[in-house]
Amino acid sequence: MTSGLRGNGTIRARMVARGLALAIGFAAAALGCGSSSSRSASGTGGSTGAGAGGRMAGSDAGPSAVARNDAGADASGADAPADPFAAPPTCTSGKTWTGADNGSKLMNPGRGCITCHSKSSEAPVLTLAGTVYPTAHEPDLCDGASSTVYSGATVVITGADQQTITLTPNTAGNFLYQGGLALPFRVKLTYMGRERMMAVAQTSGDCNSCHTQDGADGAPGRILLP
């Protein structure tokens, strides 16, 4: 596949759209496309999501002007749609998990499932787990892309041995898998004939540990429904 090329295009588009987002005053900390800067903007722990309004503050005029120029130049003749990763933080479902660490397939959407399970003797060992969201920066514990609303969405994992595993997000948007998997693996999300692919092969199945609200370890944000 041309996933490498596609990834570069996506990253470029993301840079441009981040510029656009800055121009409207969102997430100044993401300027410069450094994943480390966006990661440090709010960290991973404990966000309960009230904060969309609070996070709008702090754009500064200089970088916005630069970003606007960049976006303008690039938009001419570009057929790229608006970058969904420029979306503001929100909990689209309006539903938040309140069951603490009571074991369930629906538990703790958005949090790093395997990070926590690996510290507990009672929690099941999971090979892959994570949460699919309809927008790119949803807070921890917010229910993701529910199978009842977004039916037909799949997470397709292809192991190093070319074996394919197809997972379906549940009503919290969570998906999980407990069987064997040859590393590294590749990831593709599908929904309504559209796709999003992870360009880089991964060895960790703890999807949400990188796909945090703001994105950690270079990830652009949440695992986004195509």
Confirm or reject binding of residue 130 to ligand HEC (CB under 6 A): yes
d(CA 225, CA 85): 11
Minimal distance, residue 61 CB to ligand HEC, in Å: 29
Taking residues 168 to 197 in sequence order and writing x for each that binds ligand HEC by CB under 6 A, - otherwise, the string is ------x-x----------x-x------xx
Confirm or reject binding of residue 225 to ligand HEC (CB under 6 A): no
Minimal distance, residue 157 CB to ligand HEC, in Å: 6
Minimal distance, residue 40 CB to ligand HEC, in Å: 16
Confirm or reject binding of residue 1 to ligand HEC (CB under 6 A): no
Structure tokens at 121: 């003797």
First to last CA, the chain: 18
Q: How many CB atoms lie within 10 A of CB 105?
A: 11
Confirm or reject binding of residue 117 to ligand HEC (CB under 6 A): yes
Is the distance from CB of 15 to CB of 33 less than 8 angstroms?
yes
Cis, peptide link before residue 184, omega less than 30° from 0? yes
Residue nearer to ligand HEC on the CB measure, 118 or 151: 118
Q: Which stretch binds ligand HEC (CB under 6 A): 39-47, 74-82, 86-94, 124-132?
A: 124-132
Structure tokens at 164: 């394919």
d(CA 201, CA 134): 23
Residue nearer to ligand HEC on the CB measure, 102 or 166: 102
Residue nearer to ligand HEC on the CB measure, 47 or 64: 47
Q: Please state the three-class secondary structure of 117-168 as a single string.
A: HCCCCCCCCCCEEEEEECCCCCCCCECCCCCCCCCCCEEEEECCCCCEEEEC
* 6 CB-contact burial (10 Å; exposed 0-12 / middle 13-18 / buried 19+): middle
Taking residues 73 to 112 in sequence order and writing x for each that binds ligand HEC by CB under 6 A, - otherwise, the string is ----------------------------xxxxx-xxx-xx
Residues that bind ligand HEC (CB under 6 A): 7, 10, 101-105, 107-109, 111-113, 116-117, 120, 122-124, 128-131, 155, 157, 174, 176, 187, 189, 196-200, 202, 204-207, 209-211, 217-220, 223-224
